[in-house]
Structure 1
Amino acid sequence: MILNLPNVLAFLRLLMAPLLLWLLADRDSSWLAGIHTSWLDYFAALVFVLASVTDFFDGYIARMFNQITTLGKIIDPLADKMLTLAAFLGLVVLGRADVWAIFLILSREFFITGLRVMAVSEGRDVASSMTGKVKTVAQMVAIGFLTMDWPGGNALLWFAVAITLYSGYEYIRDYAKGRS
């Protein structure tokens, strides 16, 4: 079944991505005029946390109730990438994230997403590795710190860059060896 709960949660995450970008990057719009920036940070963080929770639950539900679909294998990582893209672009616009760190992360994300789509089309398993899961958590924590403008956010961002690039290397290595 294509429209199962995990896929609906992934689609919901797709819809939250532009909302997150709007809250971070379009703070001069008439819709947001008069709202203090700290409240916009809170709202953006809330949207990001809610979207991240859907990421956890769509995977958990899909595995627990055997609702894994080909669409889900494609839409879930796409929704993840759109969410991180929205967060990172918004943070660059705000001047809170180093553009080179974001470039490295997003380049890896789009390349590996394409590789995963190719693997799915070939009938190969594209399950996330443990390093991929650590990468996701590192990015989420960095995004949270940067969204809230807390100290240490850029250090966490560069840690996320290192983990992100290493996990990308693992995907490429495994794909080349026929293990993905």
Structure 2
Amino acid sequence: MPEKNTIKQKEKNLNLPNILAAFRILLAPLMLWFMVDQSNPIFDGWHPSWFDYFAGLIFVIASVTDFFDGYIARSWNQMTKLGSILDPLADKMLVLAGFIGLLAMDRVSAFAIFLILSREFFITGLRVVAVSEGKSVASTMAGKIKTVVQMIAIGFLIMNWPYASELLWFAVFLTLYSGYEYIRDYLK
């Protein structure tokens, strides 16, 4: 009987939302590669703007999969424990790859990235503690908006568009505010 349950669990985990999250995990290092390895001989003859376009395209594709994996999981009732791990991991890997690439390209403030990543690590640790205490620290609306604004800021920064830096600092503000909400909810 345990083998049958294991097979059913594997089949349940092999669903479209989890496949999209896993795909996003694979796209993160590919995007980073276009951002930081422009001197690779493979790219001889490429115009410098192509790197921005390819990294930007990969980022948009990955961001769209982020929307659809959550939407499909909720709509089709395909939420799994694996998905609850893969989705935030994929988000964090994509954002981390974007910020590391942007730092390497000298398009972003290291202090802004430090604040964002410090909050992300702290809240991840807080969630681990909460789970170990049997508490649930659910995502807040501010946390979801923070993720969207971070992704838009990363896209603007990759493409080197106007107001990208201002958008990043707005993302920093939302990141810190949503971190405050998590802490407040945990302490209640």
Cα root mean square deviation, aligned: 1.5
Distance 1:82 1:74, change over 3 A: same
TM-score (ref. length: structure 2): 0.88
Give unmatched runs, 5+ long, in structure 1: none
Conserved 8 A contact 2:137-2:186: no
Question: Does 1:165 pair with 2:170?
Answer: no
Partner amino acid, structure 2, of 1:15: L
Give the CA deviation at 1:28: 1.1
TM-score, normalised on structure 1?
0.92
Residue 167 of structure 2: aligned partner: 156
Matched ranges for 1:1-180 at <5 A: 1-120=12-131, 124-177=135-188
Bigger shift: residues 117-126 or 12-21: 117-126
* Mapped contact 2:156–2:164 kept (Cα < 8 A): yes
74 and 83 in structure 1: CA distance in 2 versus 1, 3 angstrom threshold: same
Q: Which deviates more from structure 2 when the two are superposed, residues 28-37 or residues 62-71?
A: 28-37
Q: Give the number of aligned pairs.
A: 177
- Taking a change above 3 Å as real, the CA distance of residues 113 and 75 of structure 1, as seen in their structure-2 partners, is farther
Kindly provide the amino acid, as one letter, of the partner of residue 37 in structure 2: D
In 2, Cα distance between equivalents of 1:64 and 1:126: 22
- TM-superposed CA distance for 1:114, in Å, is 3.2
Unaligned runs of 5+ in 2: 1-11
Q: Do 1:101 and 1:161's aligned partners in 2 also have CA atoms closer than 8 Å? A: yes
Report the alpha carbon displacement of residue 118 of structure 1 after superposing the two structures with TM: 4.5
> Normalized per residue, which structure has more helix?
2
Conserved? CA contact 2:137–2:182, under 8 Å: no
Contact 2:137 2:185 (8 Å CA) reproduced: no
State the SS of the aligned residue for 1:31.
Answer: helix
CA distance in 2, matches of 1:114, 1:26: 32
Query: What residue identity is the alignment partner of 2:171?
Result: A
- Cα distance in 2 for partners of 1:123, 1:69 equals 18
1:97 to partner: Cα distance: 0.5
Q: 1:67/1:119 Cα in 2 relative to 1: closer, same or farther (>3 Å)? A: farther
